[in-house]
Amino acid sequence: MAAAAVGTMASRALIMEAPPENIVSEAPVALDSPPEPLGGPGVFISGDTMPSILPAAFQPPDFPAFERAEPDNLLALVQALAMPPWEKTVEAGDTLDVLLSRADMDAQTRTEVALALAVEYDLRRLRPGHQLSVGYRTDGTPSVVTLSVDEGVQIEVTMDDTIVGRTVTPSASTIERAGQLEVNGSIYASLDRGGVPARFAVDLAQILGDTVDFRRDLQGGESLNILWGQTVLPDGSEIGQPLMSYAALDLGDDQFEIVWTDEDNGRATVYLNGEVLRTVAPPVEGARLSSVFGQRKHPIYGNMRMHTGVDYAAAAGTPIAATAPGRVSFIGWRSGYGRVVEIQHGSDTMTRYAHLSAVPEGQAVGNRVLAGETIGQVGETGTATAPNLHYEVRVDGRPIDPLGEELLASAENFDKTDAAEILEVTRTRFVTVLREDT
């Protein structure tokens, strides 16, 4: 295969939340040499890296992890510096009690620690891969036990006069990444080769599918730029799905750009040659389009039937958003559709959301809803083979292709200056992120 993809990756960390609270476990790593023993708060630490009195003047400039240490963490921090912590990854067959005894903990303390952990975490969920660490005081007695469970969550038990447990949730941050690639073959394959999450191909097809004929319009060699965000934990592991914030597809004559803004619940603005073409708000954010509008072989009845909407596959319970502002006109059951919510937009357009598992308590016929407002949850009520949202748009009672409709989009009052500015800012961000590492 010819070398087609010219992938350029870059990344930049955007700290969205406070830095890690769990500084106890990070602290020993930052020091080159072990510090002198400490007697308690206010004790002088020797060594040229931390020439200050603790905790009053604790402002080490060189250790990012310490920068925003909170005063009540300092004692634990100081204690953790005294002796290297004991650490163990939980393996099959391990029990908490056996692990703690290997960390030189007496039976009485082990019981108390287990109780304190159990208050915060169901210990039956302990499984291989979780990590247990124990930090000690200078006299060798344990001062803190940290159990690291799934997705960066830690249960921390501190042992002072009393033994107290607390749950420390990870301070996830969002990393922005940018990819620049050349289309060759399918969009899916091109993204994959360029090191960009290939799942974005579905989003692009969904948004541009009715405007760009991917088979006919893509000859190969077109440029595709993508900017996206990925939530990561302090240890670098990725959680959740990557989300696109910008895509630019250059077809030579025409340049399509799509901007997703954080505030808008997955609403995308599509630009053609720098001008707003339309906005698209998927009813289920990040969901996979599993069936399109039109004639298809019915998954249950087996015959050819008109599919009057589009289906989005998503886990049961996933929130469903109104795609445009309107008024709730129906909540209830409609045979094969199962539990349904319908929203009237103006006099002739209606959107229908079907197979729902639930509708929010306060939602009632007559309510005004905003675009992006939650009006139900994905389910499989009615005739459905798996949890999915059947989304339908009807104009004067007649179903139209929801992916092709521009009626709802044009109903939106649009600030052109804002749209142009948002595009400009987003383009700049793409270039900045792309340059970071290159």
CB closer to Zn ion, 267 vs 390: 390
Stretch of 55-63, 314-322, 385-393, 428-436 lying at the interface with Zn ion (CB under 5 A): 385-393
| Element containing residue 332 per DSSP (H, E) | strand 326-333
Stretch of 58-66, 136-144, 387-395, 403-411 lying at the interface with Zn ion (CB under 5 A): 387-395
Contact string 342-381 vs Zn ion (x = CB under 5 A): ----------------------------------------
Residue recorded with tokens 């596959």: 313
Stretch of 2-10, 58-66, 182-190, 383-391 lying at the interface with Zn ion (CB under 5 A): 383-391
Closest by alpha carbon to 162, among 123, 122, 119?
A: 119
CB proximity list for 398: less than 8 A, separation 6 or greater: none
CB closer to Zn ion, 179 vs 402: 402
Stretch of 119-127, 141-149, 209-217, 388-396 lying at the interface with Zn ion (CB under 5 A): 388-396
Other CB atoms within 10 Å distance of the CB of residue 421? 11
Least CB distance to Zn ion at residue 119 (A): 46
Least CB distance to Zn ion at residue 376 (A): 15
Distance of CA 11 to the CA centre of its chain: 16
CB proximity list for 207: less than 8 A, separation 6 or greater: 258, 268, 270, 280
CB closer to Zn ion, 4 vs 313: 313
- Asked if 26 touches Zn ion (CB under 5 A), the answer is no
CB proximity list for 328: less than 8 A, separation 6 or greater: 341, 342, 343, 344, 363, 364, 365, 366, 367, 369, 375
CB closer to Zn ion, 267 vs 307: 307
Least CB distance to Zn ion at residue 309 (A): 5
CB closer to Zn ion, 278 vs 390: 390
CB proximity list for 434: less than 8 A, separation 6 or greater: 8, 10, 178, 179, 180, 225
Residue 404, CB half-sphere, CA atoms under 13 Å: how many? 13
Least CB distance to Zn ion at residue 215 (A): 24
Residue nearest to Zn ion (CB): 390
Q: Are 402 and 393 in contact (CB under 8 A)?
A: yes
Q: Rounded to whole angstroms, what are the CA distances from 25 to 12, 135, 136?
A: 25, 8, 11
CB closer to Zn ion, 312 vs 430: 312
Q: Are 271 and 248 in contact (CB under 8 A)?
A: no
User: Scanning residues 298 to 317, which ones bind Zn ion (CB under 5 A)?
Assistant: 311
CB closer to Zn ion, 110 vs 390: 390
Helices (H) and strands (E) in the chain — how many of each?
9, 24
Least CB distance to Zn ion at residue 314 (A): 13
CB closer to Zn ion, 110 vs 355: 355
Task: For residue 139, report the phi and psi dihedrals to the nearest 5 degrees.
Answer: -85, 5
∠295-372-362 over CA atoms, to 5°?
105
Q: Rounded to whole angstroms, what are the CA distances from 141 to 137, 162, 197?
A: 5, 14, 48
Interface with Zn ion (CB under 5 A), residue total 2
User: Scanning residues 206 to 245, which ones bind Zn ion (CB under 5 A)?
Assistant: none
Least CB distance to Zn ion at residue 288 (A): 13
Among 110, 339, 345, 390, contact with Zn ion (rule: CB under 5 A)? 390
CB closer to Zn ion, 116 vs 389: 389
Least CB distance to Zn ion at residue 432 (A): 41
Least CB distance to Zn ion at residue 390 (A): 3
Q: Are 52 and 60 in contact (CB under 8 A)?
A: yes
CB closer to Zn ion, 206 vs 245: 206
Least CB distance to Zn ion at residue 308 (A): 7
Stretch of 12-20, 84-92, 197-205, 386-394 lying at the interface with Zn ion (CB under 5 A): 386-394
Q: How many residues does the chain have?
A: 438
Least CB distance to Zn ion at residue 135 (A): 55
Q: How far apart are CA 124 and CA 214, in angstroms?
A: 50
Q: Which residues bind Zn ion (CB under 5 A)?
A: 311, 390
